[in-house]
Structure 1
């Protein structure tokens, strides 16, 4: 269905983003579930991944992370890309906070996460990525970050 402003899914996508941006913590899981039930699964996943990225970027270093991430994980069951994105935000969190993590987890992560971690300040992760990051861009970003830390 076409609307005056373009395809209907574009209008629904924009409306979903607005709703997700203003949702209360108490209603967040239910809204994510409703968005994911949209007849256009590509549009729904795109809206939810934007929401997850926005919220995770604010919450990863906060005490409420575990509770939020658990609630979101339950909300996105059955959506492998969204499940993986949450897992990668959790890995980013442990790397950034210098909690225990495994080299293989970081090297097995997506380009998105490796590049995000390569912009961080964990010298151990930066060394791993400078040596073995998946792409030249990731390796170079990690080397640059190591140089900024004075450890490269």
Structure 2
């Protein structure tokens, strides 16, 4: 795909593939190997490499692995929106409710926190 003569279309197709595969592998032990292989494949493609980095961050947050609050706070709008729709721990939602880039994400995180406290 990356050899397509239209670089924008090539990168768009790769990012679509990344998104679809990452969702399927997010809870799998094979995620790390897949991400390492994809990292080599997208080297030099800034947008695709950035999306892959954000999937690695989301995997860490969702799976309870070490993650950086600063990195999540600086993440793209896409990454933050995806995190709010994912089964992330309360500390990630608290961070996003207070420091997300957009009001939509901040409100979404705050709503999830309120729902969680109402059912607890």
* Smaller-chain TM-score bracket: over 0.9
Task: Provide the aligned C-alpha RMSD in A.
Answer: 1.1
State whether structure 2 residue 32 is matched by structure 1 residue 66.
Answer: yes
Q: Work out the CA distance in 1 between the residues paired with 2:85 and 2:109.
A: 7
Paired residues in the alignment total 117
Aligned position for 1:75: 41
Q: Work out the CA distance in 1 between the residues paired with 2:29 and 2:42.
A: 22
Higher RCO (Cα < 8 Å, 6 or more apart) = 2
Which residue, 123, 138, 143 being the options, matches 2:105?
138
Per-residue CA deviation, residues 88-135 of structure 1 (Å, 9 max, x unaligned), is 000000111111111101011000001111223310000000011111
Instruction: Answer whether contact 1:132 1:139 (CA < 8 A) is retained.
Output: yes
Relative to the length of structure 2, the TM-score reads 0.93
Q: Which residues of structure 2 form unaligned runs of 5+? A: none
Relative to the length of structure 1, the TM-score reads 0.74
Per-residue CA deviation, residues 61-87 of structure 1 (Å, 9 max, x unaligned), is 101011000001100111010000000
